[in-house]
Chain A
């Protein structure tokens, strides 16, 4: 694709759709904040194919739009916090060169939940929320791993395509 803006739009739209589809899938554990993180698939792929800056903007625009479309001010806050921390960790992990796509995604998944939990602590003004930290860490790790495997597969297939 030659037009950068159109390309950017396509990725944001894709991430938005994943975000929405996620809300249709019921989560079995009743733990606040649990989700599949499907939209992260787009973030990881853009990160590896186009770089950190592109990925950051795709993420930010997607979070804002998803918030306006399906969520509310609070969901934007949580998603931004989780997304920002998770993104920062993923960029660092990727730059270090020590991890594969799976590792980067695992870190991203786990820290996304940590970020959200931190905001929750600030919002409700008690530390009680940290009771959920163990479950969210493992859940984030597992979904991160799955998204990582998917991303890895896709990146290998997309290797031939130049963006």
Chain B
């Protein structure tokens, strides 16, 4: 390992740290709503305070239970979204990439940094 290798490794680590810090600052509030997007379109916004089960298209099922959200069922092959732990804090998200489903916790104000890119 040359010196430059270490510098590079450190820079990448620092960048990761900065992004993580940014995420944590934005997430310091407990979320109030969960937004469900499919293919970039907002399908609905649901309060975390009410237990619910939401079907997303014909492919995914999102469950809101006890103030936490998880992907209950999905027809994707890797099932990464289903295996992910439940989310409840601001800006946390569960994403089913194959079905283009994004489930994100928000605090109810405008979408701040997470604009829908069209």
User: Interface on A for B, CB 8 Å cutoff?
Assistant: 30-32, 74, 93, 98-100, 102-103, 106-107, 110, 120-131, 133-135, 137-138, 141, 145
Contacts and interface: CB of A to CB of B under 8 A. Distances in A.
Nearest to B5: A103
Interface of B: 1-2, 4-5, 8-9, 12-13, 15-17, 19-20, 23, 37, 39-40, 78, 80, 83-85, 91-93, 95, 97-98, 100-102, 104, 113-118
A98 B19 CA distance: 26
B12 A126 contact: no
| B contacts with A: majority SS | mixed
Contacts of A106: 5, 8-9, 12
B1 A100 contact: yes
Nearest to A106: B9
Interface centre among A98, A103, A129 (most CB of B within 10 A): A103
B37 A126 contact: yes
B23 A141 contact: no
A125 B9 contact: no
A123 B100 contact: yes
Contacts, number: 107
B102 A124 contact: yes
B39 A125 contact: yes
B93 A99 contact: no
B84 A30 contact: yes
Contacts of B104: 126, 128
A131 B16 contact: no
Given A123-B100, A124-B95, A128-B104, A103 B80 contact: no
B12 A137 contact: yes
Closest 9 CB pairs of A and B: A125-B40, A103-B5, A134-B20, A137-B16, A134-B16, A128-B93, A98-B4, A100-B2, A134-B19
Contacts of B1: 100, 102-103
A141 B19 CA distance: 15
Nearest to B93: A128
Given A74-B97, A129-B102, 19 more contacts: A32-B95, A74-B98, A98-B2, A100-B1, A100-B5, A124-B37, A125-B39, A125-B100, A126-B37, A126-B40, A126-B117, A127-B117, A128-B91, A129-B95, A134-B17, A138-B12, A138-B13, A141-B9, A141-B16
Interface centre among B85, B102, B113 (most CB of A within 10 A): B102
A31 to B, nearest CB: 8
Nearest to A149: B1
